[in-house]
Amino acid sequence: MNLLKTIVLAVVVLLGFNPISAAMRGMNREPDSLTLKEAFKDKFFIGTALNLDQIWERDIKAVAVVKKQFNSIVAENCMKSMFLQPQEGQFYFKDADRFVAFGEQNKMQVIGHTLIWHSQTPAWFFVDKKGKDVPREVLIERMRKHIQTVVSRYKGRVFGWDVVNEAILDNGEWRKSKFYQIIGPEFIQLAFQFAHEADPNAELYYNDYSTAIPEKRKGIMAMVQQVKAAGGHISGVGMQEHNALDNPSLEEVEKTILGFADLGVKVMVTEMDISVLPHVRPNMGAEIGERYAYSKETNPYEKGLPPGKMAELGKRYVAFFNLYLKHQDKISRVTLWGVGDGDSWKNGWPIPGRTDYPLLFDRHYQPKPFVKDIIALTQKKKVIKKMNKSKYLYPRDYMADPSAHVFENKIYIYPSHDRESGIPENDNGDHFDMQDYHVFSLEDVQDEVFDHGKVLDVKDIPWSGRQLWDSDVTEKDSKYYMYFSMKDKNDIFRLGVALADKPYGPFIPQDDPIKGSYSIDPCAFKDEDGSYYLYFGGIWGGQLQFYRNNKIVVPNELPKADEPALTPKVVKISTDMLEFSEQPRDLVILDKNGMALRQGDTEKRFFEASWMHKYKDKYYFSYSTGDSHLICYAIGDNPYGPFTYQGVILSPVVGWTTHHSILEFKGKWYLFYHDSVPSGGKTWLRSMKVVEIEYDEDGHIKPIHGLSS
């Protein structure tokens, strides 16, 4: 057997084939050798719309492209109601069955399009035998029967459905379709309800064109919010993206991506094409009933697309895909509306008889020259340079106490929102009278921060009194939990929790504070075994001195200077993430001799601003010393402690104290903190910053000079 192996290997070498170098080439492939679905595999699904010749595999060249390049498919027409149920009660499933089977055979994501649409709905849907509009309850029942018959037939086989198509006009108003006229705006909520009842596990989408028009975007967002508030199950919103060479602007498309994502739904590009032909009117969308007369002037590329125009088209496509990649954490799918140029509906709309070039593959199903440039976008790797100086993250407003985490491959920051309250300074911190939280995100530490806006306000919290202080956020099972500190109606600090479906909120608060909670500055920590812990506490205005053994004591005094210092608290969080699962424990910080730090050791003892992170299997508890203005840290082997004091992370900055957080991102470690330089030293008007930190070979954090970093 060994002799046989030697002979085979010798033949392989003689033939010039090196299996090792072949494997290495596979690990670092050029764009020309990658397919679209390979390139975007870990980004989002890449899809295409199929016509009947492709569904039935009569168009051999097109089918080969579909199988090679795409991993998601949608039926261009055969699943619309006029084809599935041309007469009441008479369903025709032959083409749709074949479409779903094609997707299953090729292990593709299958999308159903579309259940409810004002266009391509058979006329009988809305009228009785006399041709008059049917009553509201009749149309609702027809809608229910159609949706549930179709969706239940493909239950567990169709990944997601375009439930409602194009219900909002460009001006943001409701389209006065027959569905709207007879049922009212509730028809959308009912459509999603019926679809969810038929297949509770299918994703359900709203789909529309020209979503980058600000008025339309606002109208769609308002509609989705209404449906969700009424209990509707909307999984995502589709941007059709029937675009032109000069509109819409990328800026407005990005606003749409962010706006839709802020609704707590997935975002997808559902029908993309880019027309190279002259406009009939500005902001031409995809209104199927809009038609115009043919003229030679509107069909300039009948004999082929000039190289200059091809380059312009390529530049536009690359720009869009670059934007989609930027927001790959929000976008789940990008679907092209057709396989090759000859398949595109744009050849016949809005002017029949024209020759357009709107897709990635030409009329012979060959990739256009820029397809490799789109693929190349996925192969770029950012070089992360060392951050030698700190930088301010959001100079346009005062944000403090930054708790930073990595969610969805991006840095999210949860700060307090400082404001000029007019309240005189005092040791209780009454002048820190914050009233809301914003969420910020960063694609990279060197990038500009993005403000996701206000996500929680004092007035939204049922038990609120005043002073919305430090907060932190953690994730479990795709839900996000914000733990925050605020005074209740009795002016006692308590800890609350608010929930969101996305890391950027909005966060919905619980009706009551966490039972048994007190003091300030919660830090939520997820350990590697799946346990969650909350660290909290702060003296002086943070009221920690009010408590001993988790109960209020009288008098409310700090320990004497030679007595053990007050400790921060640690508690395991319940499995539902809404309560403590136990009584909070003391987190003891020891000196090098194993003795608890003393209250009089103001440059080492705990004051406020807990943070926990892990480095090389050790637990690092960091905190502020308050009136001595240091950020220090201690190391332990257990999330409960004890912890041994190690040293200073950050020396004093301009301002009173420095709340902070520490995280790892792309192989580097960063400290997020704040100072009061931009406000001229006003301690209650702080600005958040970030700086890179380093560990030495023994795991010690190299100290940072606060005034010169």
Q: How far apart are CA 683 and CA 677, in angstroms?
A: 9
- Note if the bond before 555 is cis, omega within 30 degrees: yes
Token digits of residue 274: 């880019």
Query: Dihedral of CA 229/230/231/233: which sign?
Result: negative
Give the closest residue to 406 by CA, choosing from 441, 370, 382, 434: 441
Contact 626, 660 (CB under 8 A): no
State yes or no: is 601 an active-site residue.
no
Backbone angles phi, psi at 631, to 5 degrees: -105, 120
Q: How far apart are CA 257 and CA 332, in angstroms?
A: 11
State yes or no: is 576 an active-site residue.
no
- Note if the bond before 185 is cis, omega within 30 degrees: no
Strand segments (E) across 186-330: 203-208, 236-239, 242-244, 266-275
Give the closest residue to 194 by CA, choosing from 225, 149, 136: 149
Question: Which residues lie closer than 8 Å to 708 by C-beta, 6 or more apart?
Answer: none
Pairing state between β 608-615 and 589-590: unpaired
Q: How far apart are CA 43 and CA 29, in angstroms?
A: 17
* Alpha carbon distances (Å) from 550 to 53, 199, 654: 72, 49, 34
Catalytic residue among 203, 273, 356, 608: 608
Backbone angles phi, psi at 634, to 5 degrees: -135, 155
* Alpha carbon distances (Å) from 73 to 102, 342, 668: 9, 18, 40
Q: DSSP letter at 32?
A: G
Give the closest residue to 135 by CA, choosing from 165, 164, 178: 178
Pairing state between β 608-615 and 618-624: antiparallel
Q: How far apart are CA 405 and CA 413, in angstroms?
A: 7
Q: Containing H/E element for 677?
A: none
Token digits of residue 85: 């149920």
User: CA torsion angle for 186, 187, 192, 196 (degrees, to 10)?
Assistant: 100
- Note if the bond before 278 is cis, omega within 30 degrees: no
Q: How far apart are CA 115 and CA 60, in angstroms?
A: 29
Q: How far apart are CA 37 and CA 31, in angstroms?
A: 12
Contact 338, 349 (CB under 8 A): no
Strand order in the sheet with 532-536: 523-526, 532-536, 569-572, 585-586
| Residues known to be catalytic | 401, 608
